[in-house]
Structure 1
Amino acid sequence: MNLNSQALLEDNLLWQAKNSGKRIIFYGDDTWVRLFPKHFLEFDGTTSFFVSDYTEVDNNVTRHLDSTLKRDDWDVLILHYLGLDHIGHISGPHSSLIGPKLQEMDDVIKKIHTSVITTEAEGMLPNLLVLCGDHGMSEMGSHGGSSEPEVNTPLVLISPAFPTKEGMGETLVVEQVDLTPTLALALALPISQNSVGRLIPAMFERASLREQLRYLHINGHQLSNLLRDSNPSFHKEDGYEQFRMAEKAHGSWMKLYVEGNTSEVLSNMAEKVLKQYLEALQAMSAALSKQLGKYDMYSMMVGMSLILQVIFKRNLTSFSIK
């Protein structure tokens, strides 16, 4: 996030949540407050300028937890801790300060998880705990590059709504952009129109086949619209054609479903459509992400040339004056 960020005006997950009546509370990095100035029911921002502070910057977030977790006047709680990031900048990932800070974060997660379990026992709707980092950390403690330790970070999703499994289970690799459609569908929100992500299927394993197909179709419809609006040659993209084929097969499945067909054929057909949708989503998401990563090299070179000319002329002027 840019420290000088202005309000984010384009369609986004928080705007969709607020627009749908979700009550959002935020504590942490005040960049969020600048990006989303009118989205929060309550907020307390902490500045990220003082990199040497890795204690108070987190205490000012945690101090709100006990009282907030006892309240029932909010739907979404966002916490952005900065302490671990600051320690990385100060002394790197192998600092003696890392262990105690991770233990502190473990205690915070335990507190939230315990509260979630207590709430579930009272018969409320399933809660979802999302634990993630916005970036990793290099051997030097920085995160501005593209090395694997800098761009890879854990994502943990915890909810009683998920099926219980022994051990850790399979570790999935997902893109950061996949969080937007996944959380949107989990919260019954529209997917942001410019989202290039695809939903994480493991989140919806407990849903019926009909619901899973519906979620995949919603995501596919959004991605295909974005592809059509941003790429004149959208019809040539494999993912777009795959989605249309999956959509057609989905329609055939729905016809059998509505007719009351409960045979094994219906189940096998649904699995086939699921696979078609997933392949289409992967292809469309990849095409859109690649498109976003393209740069106008000619314009960039012209801009750099102009900057160098200005610098050169200024140096000549300074030399002449001397």
Structure 2
Amino acid sequence: MNKPPLTLFLAAPRGFCAGVDRAIKIVEIALEKWGAPVFVRHEIVHNRYVVDSLRDKGAVFVEDLDECPPDRPVIFSAHGVPKAVPAAAAARQMVFVDATCPLVSKVHIEAARHHEAGLQMIMIGHAGHPETVGTMGQLPEGAVLLVETADDVTTLEPHDPEKLAFITQTTLSVDDTAAVVAALKARFPAIVGPHKEDICYATTNRQEAVKAMAPDCDAILVVGAPNSSNSRRLVEVGAKAGCAYAQLVQRATDIDWRALDGIRSIGITAGASAPEVLIDEVVDAFRARYDVTVESVVTAEEHVEFKVPRILRERA
């Protein structure tokens, strides 16, 4: 039986970013240096395949430092942690490695600098997300006000409207965040913003690639985890950019083939914590059912690399 034709648009950039690549390397090098088990506070990155692969190598994932024995190394996830966490690890004389993405650390430094200058911080982010929790935890309790939407700006009650600064989670929708920033600037004209955009290059680049291919796609699939903020934003961006069907899938087995019945074009991308092997798996699933023509949609090239922490570069 002849397979129906399908144009498959493959977004570039897609998948792993430099911060995720570094975080995974940190766990792998730690296992080589100290042997198993190595403990990791929270999922190192938000992807089940990655976490399971590292677990198979000897990583133990926990949600609280109290679950870690004091005589084994502990790694803090790429999302960042409140200041109290490394302080507690140091107090217990634990060996710890901070895998916080350097671009998240940059936001932490900004927040501390503004706080020291006497400015009250406003964070644009998702309540409860590990990155938001970690960033707000860089400052004393209550020092950071959180907003998620432009509507939230109307209910803010700062100490002094003339002494404010804002920061953002690095994995937000670029367009949605711009609307919140506009609302902040309209209500608080004196508010100070970041020297450079807080939303990271990888998040921005992946969203731009989705925007570029969305008008040509009957459907878009984003390979990523449900708890991955940047992956979920890609789904939203695809829908807003004009694609009638945009969905998140963790693996090829999650594809809803009935919903895709009759499509002639599809866009495939992946969140920053999804490995290329999962993207290949999805593409192969389409090749099994369709006569696929692959077209790359390239909107940027990425050459960013981050070094692993010095403690892992030192000889045992």
| TM-score bracket for this pair, using the shorter chain length | under 0.3
Q: TM-score, normalised by structure 2?
A: 0.26
Q: Which has the higher contact order (CA 8 A, sep 6+)?
A: 2
Point out the structure with the larger helix share: 1
Q: TM-score, normalised by structure 1?
A: 0.26
Bigger Rg, which one: 1
